[in-house]
Amino acid sequence: MQYRKFGKLDWKVSALGFGAMRLPIIDHLPAKIEEEEAARMLQYAIDQGVNYLDTAYPYHRGQSEVFLGNVLKHGYREKVKLATKLPSWAIETAADFDRYFDEQLEKLQTDHIEFYLLHALKREWWENLYALGILDWAEKKIAEGKIGHLGFSFHDSYPVFKDIVDAYDGWDFCQIQYNYMDIKYQAGRRGLRYAAEKGLGVVIMEPLRGGLLAKNPPPAVAAYYAGMDVERSPADWALQWLWDQPEVSLVLSGMSTLEQVKQNVKSADQSGIATLRPVDHAFIENIQRVMRDLTPIPCTNCRYCVPCPGGIDIPAVFRIFNDTIMFEDLKYGKEAYKEMSEEHRADNCVECGSCEEKCPQGIAVIEWLKEAHAMLEDTSPIPVPEEQEEES
């Protein structure tokens, strides 16, 4: 395992971090973790040198922390640094800080959290936490030894990110969405570099954009892979692009199978700063351009939008829609959509807007649901990107 500098801290973190948000589940139920398989995955990762585990209060409907607590007590807790997050959106009074934190300690079966984050900050949630005294509360917990380092994860614009970084000298780290398709999105590359310059460790989430960048390349992309003189999987290309950058402290991966863990550990073993060649960077730039044309909805499957009051499995609908467009396979899309339970399909939308309020990507969910249902239910042709129309 390769290890990297973690901001200003005198400690090195594994290049790969284990994200406990997409663990294997039973019967498609997020709260029903396939614990035996998930435990094998986690233990393998730790045995191979992964030393940073990331979870959060809402992951797997509140069961991710419980699962980690049960697994780590068998001799693994001392081998890792544990990160979890305060549910920023749920905080109404200062008393909620202790209420959630104490519950998390109990679930995780520990008396301290090495890395504690304010979860999914955007301007209004940050302003509420700040007004309620979150920083004073956190400093007391740090003095008591219950929190090792304070940070935040982020889902808003770059100016908001910069304001939050500058608001407190005590930040030790932050967590941002960043991959080769999201260079200018949210904090983006500017945020990555700004935080690193301030001495913060920078944790990368959504390195594969919810798995999208790990798929077998569609026809429009495959030719670029065939032309390269090195063989890498799509996932490995995406991960190596991140590890190539010195500002990246570690890359989190939410893995769902043991095979994914093994592949990502192998990639991490081969990672390094400034190891990609100019031809490799040119390859990624070409992939960026083609992929942007092929994926109209920037959904990362973070699942903040569910449960939906109308019962819609919004990420599943968007995944089918995007895959249908990307792979130019309307038959696949219709069949996959037909296999969905009727109660989970897009036509159940009541247009309440709760999904759009929660979406970190700022997606116009309601309109995209309408378009997805129209395409997947009727015989409308697959939309062709404007650049392709001009070239045809």
Q: Does residue 121 sit within a domain?
A: yes
**Per-run averaged pLDDT (10 residues), the chain, 392 residues:** 97 97 92 96 97 97 96 94 97 98 98 97 95 98 98 93 97 96 89 98 92 80 88 94 98 95 97 96 91 83 87 90 82 86 92 92 93 81 44 31
pLDDT of residue 389: 36
> What pTM does this model have?
0.80
> Do 157 and 261 belong together in one domain?
yes
Whether 141 is in a domain gets the answer yes
293: tokens are 């044309």
pLDDT of the residue at 385: 43
Q: The tokens of 123 are what? A: 């301007």
267 is a domain residue: yes
Query: What pLDDT score does 392 carry?
Result: 28
Do 361 and 255 have their domain in common?
no
**In a shared domain, residues 256 and 365:** no
Domain membership of residue 389 (yes or no) is no
Please say whether the dihedral angle defined by the alpha carbons of residues 164, 166, 170 and 175, taken in this order, is positive or negative. positive
Residue 297 lies in a domain: no
Give a yes or no: residue 131 inside a domain.
yes
Rounded Cα gap, residues 54 and 73, in angstroms: 16
Q: Are residues 199 and 234 in the same domain?
A: yes
Question: Are 229 and 350 members of one domain?
Answer: no
Q: What is the pLDDT, as a whole number, of residue 387?
A: 40
- CA 13 to each of CA 19, 237, 276: distance values in angstroms, whole numbers, following the listed order: 14, 21, 21
pLDDT of residue 360: 87
CATH number at residue 113: 3.20.20.100
**Residue 158 tokens, joined:** 């770059």
Task: Let me know if residue 306 belongs to a domain.
Answer: no
Q: Cα–Cα distance between 365 and 355 in angstroms, integer?
A: 7
* Same domain assignment for residues 322 and 276: no
pLDDT of residue 300: 79
- Per-residue confidence (pLDDT) for residue 378, from 0 to 100: 59
Q: State whether 61 and 105 are in the same domain.
A: yes
Claim to verify: residue 280 and residue 326 sit in the same structural domain: no
| Residue 127 within any structural domain of the chain | yes
CB 336 within 8 A of CB 359: no
Q: Which residue do the tokens 């396939």 mark?
A: 34
* 349, 258: one domain: no
Residues 248 and 349 in one domain: no
Longest dimension (CA), the chain: 66
Q: Are residues 201 and 277 in the same domain?
A: yes
Number of domains in the chain: 2
Domain coverage including residue 352: 314-382
> Same domain, yes or no, for 77 and 169?
yes
- pLDDT at position 386, please? 44
